[in-house]
Structure 1
């Protein structure tokens, strides 16, 4: 007869997973109460909630997202596909999405895409599918979703930020065109004959919309349209452009497509002995927190990134709950913030 050898007392024992019932017993509450706490339900508050959280930590309990999905039909997780965090708009929009998702009891799974191609986007969706998400927010800066050859996987609830989804996807965006029009009209109203423009990089939806609006306002006013300069959103690219513009005495007003490039312009004009706003007026776009500390404080177009993030979460969760929502575009208004970097032209 074969006998099972005795277990070495010093050998580690396989520990069974901690269950919701274990947490309930330790906290002195029902399993239903533990479930509500783990799902962020607002009905459990105060000391009861704290007792449950303490018991979870003590036992090392982690809610089973797969089991929860089977029971409730959702993972309570939103995937975010993001091409870059280097721009102010993307980082602040992501921050707002995380904040508002948490208020709704949802977690965020972030999938960065190094190269914005069709394969890159589809690969990101595949990874998100493996990680179990209920919906996806795509933060775009290029015309990837505009191409007829690009299709996203069927059955995935999607909201796109800062792009043109056409009739296929729900889009949330800042009103890029109106913000640029406010900036250019402000400079013309001050008496400048025309306005130079430092645009963002080619392929950027936001850069294109702002450049189109700049050109349109000048054309409507019957003013000459100067050659467009192009940067890459960085202060360094604004600085390089500013050095060239500083040599043109006809340049008395510049609209930069973002605040970082406007910062580079201010440095270049200062180095070339052209005062702002005495010789040249400068307007930016974004209204980053540091824009009030520029020398001089920067006139700029304010974007409400918090509202963009809120609408993204609201719309994608509406799709999850209603299953079918007609695609459309939601534009968040902009406003011009006038500071000390703009004034009437010299003379």
Structure 2
């Protein structure tokens, strides 16, 4: 920094103000400092800065390494927002949430002096493991389970999410509004909070319409499951409408119905969830509930940042959006 100051013809303190984006710096002075930085190839010494500020600027992120659209897109949103806020992200991939695994992961983070931890793992066992940790830094869980833990002697745990119950209602209400009275719900795995919440939304919507009914089939998140189920429904008698817990299940259903001679949406209306990239190019283009995963990642980062600063953040869930395409139509 002293070299930068000498080349720019300013004080050491002025260089510091420019690096920290202080507003009280004239534009010509800022330009001179930035030019000197580029000329000298200056890079911040993170270790030295941490000693002075007692801030590492490092956040830990725990993920399962899932290739599912939601978790992977959320992680991308976190990384983009972290750079904008001046944080460095270190990612740990875990395959189980055993207490020993989570404890070792957190200990590894603490050795890197992380200021907070974000957990992208919306499963039941992940939440249990995190709440049992009692980590000394703030933790934010990306999960539709509501967590607001403020244990004595440990830092708080909060959760951020997209409102999955509202999303389930949107999908089901859309089908009911088209005249369907028998709406099958193909649910996701029971150990995922998101799947549970979408199921709650489906049930709540059915209860608002006299004569409406529907069955639930428990599945996984894969197109293979949707395909196998679609073939069975075509053989045994398909309902007029299906709400699939994610777009991959819906994709499998669409292919199975097509192979079986059922025309979507004339014979069966199908709604998915997530609005994955390419959902508008399914045949037919898929009506689905859109989640803004990049916004969710940014929300998780913002909440973590507030907690690191000792503030009580707003953890209100983000609002999903129904995207109507050609896979649904009026019935009766």
| C-alpha contact 1:140 1:162 (8 A) present in aligned 2 | yes
Contact 2:144 2:162 in 1 (8 A): no
Written as runs of structure 1 = structure 2, the 5 A alignment for 1:21-40 is: 21-22=2-3, 30-32=11-13, 35=16
Deviations 1:198-237 (A, max 9, x none): 2112311111111222233224434333142312x22222
> 1:109 — aligned with what?
90
Within 5 Å, which residues of 2 pair with 1:80-95? Answer: 80-95=61-76
C-alpha distance after superposition, 1:36-64 (max 9, x if no partner): 566676868546324313423xxxx6533
Aligned residue for 1:341?
A: 327
Q: Deviations over 1:226-258 (max 9, x none)?
A: 142312x22222212222222232412111111
Give the corresponding residue for 2:282: 294
- The answer to whether the 8 Å contact 2:98/2:129 transfers is no
Correspondent of 2:259 among 271, 286, 305: 271
Contact persistence 2:273–2:289 (CA under 8 A): yes
Q: CA deviation at 1:28?
A: 6.2
- Deviation of residue 22 (structure 1)? 5.0
- Confirm or deny that 1:216 pairs with 2:197: no
1:325 aligns with 2:312: yes
CA contact (8 A) 2:18 2:33 kept: no
Aligned to 1:244: 232
**What is the distance in 2 between the residues matched to 1:290 and 1:109?**
30
Residues 146 and 111 (structure 1), Cα distance of their counterparts in 2 relative to 1, 3 Å cut: closer
Task: Verify the 8 A CA contact 1:145 1:165 in the aligned structure 2.
Answer: no
Q: So what's the TM-score if we normalise by structure 1? A: 0.83
Q: CA–CA distance in 1 between the matches of 2:58 and 2:22? A: 15
* Residue number in structure 2 paired with 1:51: 36
- Which consecutive unaligned segments of at least 5 residues does structure 1 have? 1-19
Secondary structure at the counterpart of residue 235 of structure 2: coil
Work out whether 1:97 is the aligned partner of 2:84. Answer: no
Distance 2:281 2:111 in 1: 45
Mapping for residues 118-129 of structure 1, pairs under 5 Å: 118-129=99-110
SS in 1 for 2:264: coil
CA RMSD after TM alignment: 2.6
Note the residue ranges of structure 2 that are not aligned, 5 or more in a row.
150-156
Q: What is the aligned partner in structure 1 of residue 178 from structure 2?
A: 190
